[in-house]
Amino acid sequence: MSRAAVRCDAPMRWRAVRRYVSASGYILRTAARGAATWPLYVSLKLSHRCAGAWPFCDLPRRAPVPDADTAAVLRMIDAIERSSTFVLCLEGGEPFLRPDITTLLAH
């Protein structure tokens, strides 16, 4: 690996390290106060629809589940923001099949 590649990746690694240190400090401070520290990570399933037919995926074999409306998802995101969550992962079957995905990502 060249020196230029190492220098280029170093800032990204340090950002990740600072984030972990920050999260660890938060957990320790709130635990010392006896306060709740959970959840730190939330996986929000935006859709159960999928355009693919992957052999490892069981979504096509399940009964269809309707997507939550935009307002409901925005309320969930707002509630997650007020919690102790550090990471919000938007996923699902294929979230980009939602017509409102740009609205949700912008929020």
Q: What single-letter DSSP state applies at residue 62?
A: S
14-30 pLDDT, tens digit each: 777 777 777 777 777 87
Write down the pLDDT at residue 1: 46
pTM of the model: 0.63
Helix intervals (H) in the chain: 3-33, 70-82, 101-106
For residue 38, the SS3 value is: coil
pLDDT classification of 12: cutoffs 50, 70, 90: low
70-86 pLDDT, tens digit each: 999 999 999 888 877 87
